[in-house]
Chains A and B, each alone.
Chain A
Amino acid sequence: MIESMSHGIGVDIAFLLLATLAVVTAWRVFRTDSMVRASFFLLVSFIAVGVIMILLAAEYLGVAMFFMMAVEMTVMALFMVMFMMNPAGLNPMNMVHQERISIGAGVVSFLVLSAMALLAVFPDRPVSAGLDPVRSLGNEMLGDSMLIFESAGLVLLTTMIGVVVLSSHRGRYGAATEGSLPPGLESGGDPAGKPEEDEDGEDGGHHHHHH
């Protein structure tokens, strides 16, 4: 495979560095205290993979990776600051469940996949030197695979509409949050984050019961 793909030692060194960067930052995503930092670590991992794609001559995909993921991760960081606890990472954070099973599942899937990578025999048919990857991708997207590509666009549009409906304040029958209450701080307790109600007032019917 090495002979067929003509590249210099520089590409190999760059690949090794980028691969290390991608894996280390991917690992740091789940090992950092701050969720904002986590989303930017994920972005670095994506960018490293994008550069590897450019090294593989997929020049459009690699660069597309940069801007797609840049916007996605900004939005992610924004949501982190809005909704999540501890976005600044000032306190240690370890919000995990079933960690042993998860580590096991991660290690097993890595081992199985890498065994496949090392043991399976894949055909050796590298990209021919004369191919223009960007042009061939464009011709494919708006040629033979137009239906697939346009369906993806349609699904994206549907998603946009669905998302607006889901996150809208107004539902069909009034406010989207009507009738819902935050859970108590302890199970079965009074709703959290609400102003203290007058306990001995006559409108005891407003007292909410949680199950």
Chain B
Amino acid sequence: MIVEELVLPVLMVFFMLAAGAYTVAVLDRVIAGALGTPQTGSVWIAPLARGAWLMTQHANATEAPDWRAWRLAPALYLSLAAIGLAVVPWSGSLVATDLVTSVVLWGSVEALATVVIFLHGWSANALFALIGGYRYVALGLSYILISMFVLIGVALPAESLQFTQVVASQEELWNVIRQPLGLPLFLIVGLGMTFWGPLNLADSADLAGGTAAEISGPPRLVWDVARAAMLVAFSGVATSAFLGGWLGPWLPGPLWVAIKMLAVLLVLLLLGRLLPRLAPERCVTLMWVILLPLSFIDLVWAGVGALL
């Protein structure tokens, strides 16, 4: 019993963390190569080589950082990604955490990510890192709101806050068609929450690396892995919430989940490479003035659909 309830889910989540982060690194390099950025070395080896190199580096120190918070923040972000991966159902019964409020739990992962990213920026006791943290808080609040409305939208037809029920409710029609606004909004939030590509405003180049400006060595490796794992968790949640999770013909359920997650990851990474970067203040305007009202429309749409 303890094996089934504790060991197996933990192993599953750890495997997903490692495999997911590696997949993101490889895919991103492949996409960059395909788009014309020259890549040195093999795309399969290069992520591992960089990881090994970071492991052997000495971690820099700033003047009087909050050591505990500074070292904990990357690990906490990684554990938030782990919680996110744990709520993704691989089939009707194969799911690490089948909490009846798993949709809300994912919402609180997004909220806690704001805390962790701010903590990461603040604890370094450095200017750019703090500005990066502040930037993320200003943006993170709008990401959370948009994502909550979109997720309430998928919970409505399921009449449940549980991801397994949400997937089961898509037996006839996937939510991506039933609520056409949901998935695009959720993907934008995903890029924002992992500050990837055009929405990388917390760790952006204009802040010399933002919250990650001062970290190097093993903490840097953990931070990078955590961001990639969070992207994987996002694609997992998007798969369950909008793309029908394990549902699909011919193949077994878990394989369908893996295929759909890979497809979402591919789209996210492509968007990350193709979309133009936004200035932070414009990004806040975009979120509050355009995307948040769109998420209201999505919710009303979902509500009317649930009533009819």
Contacts and interface: CB of A to CB of B under 8 A. Distances in A.
Contact of B64 (A37, A77, A90, A132): A90
Nearest to B141: A71
Contacts of B55: none
A82 B301 CA distance: 40
Contact of A74 (B64, B107, B118, B125): B118
Given A63-B108, A66-B108, A81-B122, A71 B114 contact: yes
A89 B172 CA distance: 57
A67 B110 CA distance: 8
B99 A59 contact: yes
Contacts of B140: 74
Interface string A64-85: 1011001101110110010000
Interface in A37-92: 37, 40, 43, 54, 59-60, 63-64, 66-67, 70-71, 73-75, 77-78, 81, 88-90
Contacts of B107: 67
B166 interface: no
Contact of A63 (B105, B110, B115, B141): B105
Interface string A86-125: 0011100000000000000000000000000000000000
Contacts of B122: 36, 77, 81, 88
Contacts of B101: 59-60, 63, 134
Contacts of B64: 88, 90
A134 B100 contact: yes
A139 B101 CA distance: 16
Interface string B91-111: 000000001110011011011
A25 interface: no
Contacts of A78: 118, 134, 137
B35 interface: no
B104 A67 contact: yes
Contacts of A36: 122
B105 A71 contact: no
Of A66, A75, A132, the most chain B CB neighbours within 10 A belong to A66
Contacts of A70: 108, 111-112, 114-115
Interface string A29-41: 0000010110010
B115 A60 contact: no
B144 interface: yes
A66 B125 contact: no
Contacts of A134: 100-101, 161
Contacts of B161: 60, 134
A43 to B, nearest CB: 7
Interface residues of A, number: 25
Given A36-B122, A37-B66, A66-B111, A74 B137 contact: yes
Q: How many interface residues does chain B have, given as a range?
A: 20 to 34
B129 interface: no
Contacts of A132: 100
Interface in B127-165: 130, 134, 137, 140-141, 144, 161
A73 B119 CA distance: 11
Contact of A34 (B66, B110, B115, B134): B66
Interface in A1-52: 34, 36-37, 40, 43
Given A89-B66, A134-B161, A77 B114 contact: no
A74 B104 contact: no
A16 B115 CA distance: 26
Contacts of B258: none
Contact of A64 (B100, B104, B110, B134): B104
Contact of B111 (A34, A59, A67, A90): A67
A63 B99 contact: yes
B69 interface: yes
Contacts of A75: 137
Contacts of A63: 99, 101, 104-105, 108
Contacts of A67: 104, 107-108, 110-112, 144
Given A64-B104, A77-B122, A88-B64, 20 more contacts: A34-B66, A37-B66, A60-B161, A63-B104, A66-B105, A67-B110, A67-B111, A70-B108, A71-B114, A71-B144, A74-B115, A74-B137, A74-B140, A77-B115, A77-B118, A78-B137, A81-B130, A81-B134, A90-B64, A134-B100
27 contacts: A34-B66, A40-B115, A59-B101, A63-B99, A63-B105, A63-B108, A66-B105, A66-B108, A67-B104, A67-B107, A67-B108, A67-B144, A70-B114, A71-B141, A74-B115, A74-B118, A74-B137, A77-B115, A78-B134, A78-B137, A81-B130, A81-B134, A88-B66, A88-B125, A90-B64, A132-B100, A134-B101
